[in-house]
Structure formats: C-alpha cells, structure tokens
Amino acid sequence: MNRLDALKYFVIAAEVLSLKKTAARFSVSPQVITRVIAELEEDLGEPLFKRNTRSITLTDFGEAFVPKAVRFLQKEEQLFGTSKNAEDELCGTVRITLPSYPYFDRILYRLLTALAPYPQINIEWRTGFDILKTVNDQIDIGIRISKNPNEHWIAKKICALQEPIVASPKLIAQTGLPKDMFELVQKFPVGNIFNPNSGKAWDWCIGDLSIPLANPSVVTTDLKSLLQAVLAGRIFAPITHQDCQCYLDSGELVIVFDNHEIEIWSFYLYRPYQTITPKRVLLVYEILEKILTQSIR
C-alpha cells in the first residue's frame, strides 16, 4: 500500500462519501479504492467507514482522522508542490478518438477555441469508426456511440440517441411500404455505415436482434453521406433524430416504422482508468464535456 495515495483516497472519500465518485476523481477503478482503504484501516487498526450496499459514512475514528490526514497532505504539498511548474502540467499532446459524426468538425473548432489560453496543449483528433486501444494507440479521451459504456471507462453520458428508419416520400411512392423490418432489408433498397471490422455494412438492430443487410444499395463511412443518400431518394436507412428532425418537419423525410422498432443508443465521453491522469487530459475532458452537452441534445 502506498500510504500517501491511501490518505488522498481517504480524504476525498470522506468528502464525497462515495467510493465510485472517489475512483472517478483519481481515474482508478472502484475496486482499487475499496482495497486501498481497507488496507489503510487494517494498518490503523480501526475502521474509517461504515458501509452498506448503497453508501458509506464515517466512523467516529474516521471523523477524527480526517483533519490529521488533511494536515499531513498539506505539508506534503508544501514540500513537493513547488517542484513542478503548473505550466509544465498543461503542455503536451492529448489524443482523442471519435466516430465520423456530423458536426464534430464544429466540436473541434470550439475545443481549440477554448484551449486558446493553453497554447502548449497539442490535440490529436482521430476520427473513424475503428475503436482505438487506449494503450496501443495511446488514447487519452474518446467519444463513442454505444448502448452501454465499457466497464473500463470513466464515462459521462452526454445524451440518448434514437435512430428511426427513414426514407423520402419519393422513394416510398416508388417502392411502397414494407410490412416489417425483415421484408425491408430483403426486398427494398437499404444502406448503412461501413463496419471496418467485418468489411461490410453494419447490421440494423432492433433491441438485441441484429439484422444483416444482404445486399445494401449504399454503404458509406460517413454519416453525412448516408443522410444525403436518404434525402436523394435512394435508400431506407437509420438516421438519428438529431440529424433528421429538420427534414421530418419539412416533409422531406418520413419515419417508416413506429418507435418500438427504433434502436436507442447513447453518446458517451470517456477516458480510461489510469493510476495518474495528466492535468492537461483532465482539462480537455472537462472542456469537451461542456461543449458536447451544449451541442448534442
């Protein structure tokens, strides 16, 4: 057990009274916080917290130990705090991975504008549908569209996305309406985004059921292009409400099926669990969270 880290974990846990929130603050897993605090309690010979399945509270010993731990950490900060220049902590590269989603070029613009006071922070902006590895590709922050966050992420849910199957009235006039999703993918012109893992179009999903597209008319790596193919009257395709709502309002597109056949996804901003997360990464993560929350609804 690193006693210095243990005291830092304890002080924050005593403040927020949540092992999960403490873990997120330090970019480690909740299991690490639980283990280290248990080892600290064993070392001290006294319990610091009372625990139940939903919450923790300080014991009498824990309450008395908090100011002692805080004073010790303050002395440690005075001893070592001047050894590192604050400006040095806000320089270097932050690598961000995200899908090729419409309007993300605008997100990059807003991020770089917000980082104007920090010219020493370099941004590596990697767009694509490949899920890059946090270790091999040295990814610091990611944006993903998925049903649930990865268990190895410290993730912030930005918003939910509904993805109805839509088409133009012109195409529907030519083909008619399918009786169900299975007839649609088998007998009607359809399209979707390219899946680099399979080398084919992504399946359409209804709940936990995946429906492969045997012979898609349009496959693209870009969501903007998929939307344009739908507007051109070429295909039926899943398009998120955020991207097609204005065309639904104008009558240029219509929803083919009721909401019970719409796949629900979510936008997640995430960073991996790490023993130490550089301050530049935490700063960029915080700025991105604000920008995405304001921009994607």
Intrachain domains 3-83 and 86-161+266-295 with the same fold = no
Q: Map out the domains of the chain as residue ranges.
A: 3-83, 86-161+266-295, 165-261
- At the topology level, CATH places domain 165-261 in D-Maltodextrin-Binding Protein; domain 2 (3.40.190)
Between residues 180 and 76, which one has the greater pLDDT?
180
- At the topology level, CATH places domain 3-83 in Arc Repressor Mutant, subunit A (1.10.10)
Indicate the burial class of 294 (C-beta count within 10 angstroms; 0-12, 13-18, 19 or more).
exposed
Work out the average pLDDT over 176-196.
91
Q: How far apart are CA 170 and CA 174, in angstroms?
A: 7
Work out the average pLDDT over 45-54.
88
Tell me which residue of 30, 31, 29, 33 sits closest to 8, measured CA to CA.
33
Distances (CA, A) of 243 to 182, 224, 225, 238: 25, 9, 12, 11
* Model pLDDT, residue 259: 55
pLDDT one-digit tens code per residue, 237-281? 998 888 888 999 999 999 998 655 556 678 899 987 765 678 899
Whether residue 135 is predicted with pLDDT greater than 50 in this model: the reply is no
Any idea which of 38-42, 87-91, 129-133, 173-177 has the lowest mean pLDDT? 129-133
Q: What's the predicted TM-score (pTM) here?
A: 0.60
Under CATH, to which class is 86-161+266-295 assigned? alpha beta
Work out the average pLDDT over 89-104.
84
